[in-house]
Amino acid sequence: MMKGIFIYCRAGFEGECAAEIQERAGTLGIYGYSKAKPASGYMVFTPSDPDDADRLHRELPFDELIFVRQWFVVLIMRNDLPQDDRISALLDALSQMPEVANSLQIDTPDTNEAKQLSGLCRSVTKPAQAILAKHGLYQKSEAGEGVRCHICFMSVQAAYAGYSLVNNSSPWPMGIPRLRSSSKAPSRSTLKLDEAFLIFLDASQRHDYLQAGMTAVDLGACPGGWTWQLVRRGLKVVAIDNGAMAESVMETGLVTHMRVDGYQFQPDEPVDWMVCDIVESPIRTAELAARWLSQRWCKHTVFNLKLPMKKRWQELTRCLDLIRLTLDSAGVSYQLRVRQLYHDREEVTVYLLVIN
């Protein structure tokens, strides 16, 4: 038996994830240590007080976390599971869930090695549901609240098991939304913006904020992957890039292409959206976004910050501090959200909304 927080993240970003969770836990007066093996795709935070695992998961808003894809409170880790009945070996610990689980996720960390266990995860899911239901620990429901049971296999004999709060965690296994790239999209980078809209906006906001006829500027648009996400929703886009745009995007009749520098461009009048996926130093892109919002050239922006190989957490903190200082000084009320998306690589995606 143990109490901790199991956290899924992008392989290679375990250190940044650990730094973030240590810092955020500290703001709640929760202290402990992190186990983060490089390139493992996960980490475990163990509070000094075991009861603080539940409190951290309850009080720290999942939507505010950057490098955390999914998380759950660990109730047990076993590396000696009997191959003929793995689930029964976890029942005593899972009986400590705060209530009957209404959903179940059985998965692995997102690494090539762990993916070899995907067949095992599929094969034990239905038996696990039956065993947990038989012992009064699981009853399937589509409720938007309550508790989700988690079992994360590390090998055929080892697994972490516990629970998450449905309304303070990701709805997707491993925290990964499954999106498909359209054959009409000019590049796979289109999925970054598609995922950003899914993560940062709820269904009502996507309807209200992405209406046909709204206007947008795409900085660094070539070949048009992000522009395509906007025009397929009916937005009118000014695409800024010295490179060529895909014909399929230009044929929509909704795109004006201007061959100018994205960092120098200024709109003639405010637009609804500015999006940017330029490969440039993160601080320069942060300054660009802060300028657009402080000048009120747009109401919404989504942009990527390309992180350096070293001191990524420190550089990200510097960029976000600059944005906050600039907007606060300009008297701009705003909403800020940041997430390393599944379709991101050495970067994070930022969403900013001007409120006033």
Measured from the Cβ of residue 140, the count of other Cβ atoms closer than 10 Å reads 11
Q: Give the mean pLDDT of 10-32.
A: 96
pLDDT value of position 327: 98
Specify the pLDDT at position 1.
57
Same domain for 147 and 195, yes or no, is no
**Of 29, 26, 21, the residue nearest 66 (C-alpha):** 21
Mean pLDDT over residues 97-118, rounded? Answer: 95
Residue given tokens 């491993």 in the structure block: 174
Nearest alpha carbon to residue 77 among 158, 132, 174, 155: 158
How many C-alpha atoms does 336 have within 13 Å on its Cβ side? 18
Asked if the model's pLDDT at residue 183 lies above 60, the reply is yes
Which CATH number fits the domain that encloses residue 348? Answer: 3.40.50.150
Domain shared by 220 and 140, yes or no: no
Is residue 143 pLDDT above 80, yes or no? no
Task: Write down which residue in 119, 143, 175 finishes a domain.
Answer: 175
Specify the number of domains making up the chain.
2
**Which tens digit of pLDDT belongs to each residue from 287-302?**
999 999 999 999 999 9
Does one domain contain both 158 and 215?
no
Residue 101 has pLDDT above 70, yes or no: yes
Residue 67 lies in a domain: yes
Q: Is 168:59 a contact under the CB 8 Å cutoff? A: no
Average pLDDT over residues 341-351: 97
Give me the mean pLDDT over the 100-125 stretch. 95
Q: Which residues are catalytic?
A: 306
Q: Do residue 217 and residue 98 come from a single domain?
A: no
Q: Of the residues 124, 144, 175, which one is the last residue of a structural domain?
A: 175
pLDDT of 260 reads 94
The label of the residue with tokens 């009320």 reads: 333
Q: Does 183 map to a domain?
A: no
Q: Hey, which residues does 72 pair with through a beta bridge?
A: 6
Q: What percent of the chain has pLDDT over 90?
A: 94
308, part of any domain: yes
What mean pLDDT is predicted for residues 35-61?
Answer: 96
* Mean pLDDT score, 76-86: 94
Question: Which pLDDT does position 215 carry in this prediction?
Answer: 98
The stretch 166-175 carries a mean pLDDT of 95
Q: What is the pLDDT of residue 15?
A: 95
At 142, the pLDDT band (50, 70, 90 cuts) reads confident
- Residue 301, phi-psi category: left (phi > 0), alpha (psi -120 to 50), beta (remainder): beta
pLDDT value at residue 214: 98
Task: Note whether 90 and 162 are within 8 A (CB).
Answer: no
Q: Are residues 197 and 271 both part of a single domain?
A: yes
Count of CA atoms in the C-beta half-sphere (13 A) of 341: 27
- Express each pLDDT in 313-328 by its tens digit: 999 999 999 999 999 9
Same domain, 170 and 226: no
199 and 168 assigned to the same domain: no
What's 30's domain CATH number?
A: 3.30.70.2810
Do both 53 and 145 map to the same domain? yes
Same domain, 161 and 15: yes
- pLDDT given for residue 63 in this prediction: 96
Three-state DSSP class for residue 331: coil
Q: Domain range spanning residue 128? A: 4-175
Q: List, for residues 193-252, the tens digit of each pLDDT value.
A: 999 999 999 999 999 999 999 999 999 999 999 999 999 999 999 999 999 999 999 999
Kindly report which listed range (119-133, 181-195, 260-274) carries the lowest average pLDDT score: 181-195
Residue 233 lies in a domain: yes
Q: Which of 124, 140, 175 is the last residue of a domain?
A: 175
On the question of pLDDT at 104 being above 70, the answer is yes
180 located within any domain: no
Query: Quick one: how far is CA 347 from the chain centroid?
Result: 12
Mean pLDDT of the chain: 95
